[in-house]
Each structure stands twice: as structure tokens, then as C-alpha cells.
């Protein structure tokens, strides 16, 4: 219910109420964080939290990309209709939030949104050798 209310708020107020948009994203973050599956990896949960924080900052700044916001809204609608949250849904949501926030990252091996191991690098930090972006065939 809270997610649906948030989506209505996003649609109606997106052009002038940037603070309300940020607030709405924060409420959605709380709802999704509450529903995270017990087996969702801690690194992925931390990345999702960072993606939400970046998306909230972007929304409150007023620098919005309507197309990317719409993609986030569509993913929220899909998640709102789900009885349980799947890890892949949450990774896709993370990727979309990062895109909306202007912090898109290359996909991991196999097209997934996760880093291959451990914590993802901080913004502006290069991945560890052998991680995302390593030369093909390189040995570690």
C-alpha cells in the first residue's frame, strides 16, 4: 500500500516537489529493506542501501531523468505486486536506482548487477584486479 501511495506521489509531484520525491523514495527504501529475504547477501544489501541514498540525493537535487525515474517506478510496481522479493529483482532495482542517480556501474560476470566478490568498490575507486573490467584472459 505504501509503495502504491509512493508511486502516485512520484507521478503527480515529480516536476516540482523534489523534496517530496526524495521523501517518497526513502519510504520505499524502508518498505523494501523490511522485506529483504533472509538469504540476500550482505554486500548486495549494502549496495542497495547506497543506491537508494544516491537516488534520494539526486531526487532532492532536482536533476531528474524522467525516463530513468519511470524505469524505477515500473520496477517498484513489479516488486509491490510480489508476495516475496527475489534476489534478482532486488539487484535489478539496485541497478535502476544507480542509473537514476547517475552512478551506473558495469554489470558483473554473466550480466548480473553484483560485483564478483566482497564489497563493491567505493565511488571513484577502481575494482580489484581480476574484478569487473579486468582484461580477458588475465591471471591474478
Domain count, the chain: 1
pLDDT digits (tens, 9 = 90+) for 56-79: 999 888 887 888 888 888 888 888
Q: Is residue 125 part of a domain?
A: no
Catalogue the long-range contacts made by 10-19 (C-beta closer than 8 Å, 24 or more residues apart).
10/69, 10/73, 11/73, 14/64, 14/66, 14/69, 18/59, 18/60, 18/61, 18/62, 18/64, 19/60
Q: Is residue 24 part of a domain?
A: yes
Q: Is residue 119 part of a domain?
A: no
pLDDT digits (tens, 9 = 90+) for 14-52: 555 677 788 889 999 998 988 899 999 999 999 999 999
Q: Is residue 75 part of a domain?
A: yes
pLDDT digits (tens, 9 = 90+) for 73-97: 888 888 887 888 899 999 999 999 9
Q: Is residue 86 part of a domain?
A: yes
Q: Is residue 138 part of a domain?
A: no
Q: Is residue 140 part of a domain?
A: no
pLDDT attached to residue 42: 95
Q: Is residue 79 part of a domain?
A: yes
pLDDT attached to residue 69: 85
Range of the structural domain that residue 28 is part of: 2-105
Amino acid at each position: 500500500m505504501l509503495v502504491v501511495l509512493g508511486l502516485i506521489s512520484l507521478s503527480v509531484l515529480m516536476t516540482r516537489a523534489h523534496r517530496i520525491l526524495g521523501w517518497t523514495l526513502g519510504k520505499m527504501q524502508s518498505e523494501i529493506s523490511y522485506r529483504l529475504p533472509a538469504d540476500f547477501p550482505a554486500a548486495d544489501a549494502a549496495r542497495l542501501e547506497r543506491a537508494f541514498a544516491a537516488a534520494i540525493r539526486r531526487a532532492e537535487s532536482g536533476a531528474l531523468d524522467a525516463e530513468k525515474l519511470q524505469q524505477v517506478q515500473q520496477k517498484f510496481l513489479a516488486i509491490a505486486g510480489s508476495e516475496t522479493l527475489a534476489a534478482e529483482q532486488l539487484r535489478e532495482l539496485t541497478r535502476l536506482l544507480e542509473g537514476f542517480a547517475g552512478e551506473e556501474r558495469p554489470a558483473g560476470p554473466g550480466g548480473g548487477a553484483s560485483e564478483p566478490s566482497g564489497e563493491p568498490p567505493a565511488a571513484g575507486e577502481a575494482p580489484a584486479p581480476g574484478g569487473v573490467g579486468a582484461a580477458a584472459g588475465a591471471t591474478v
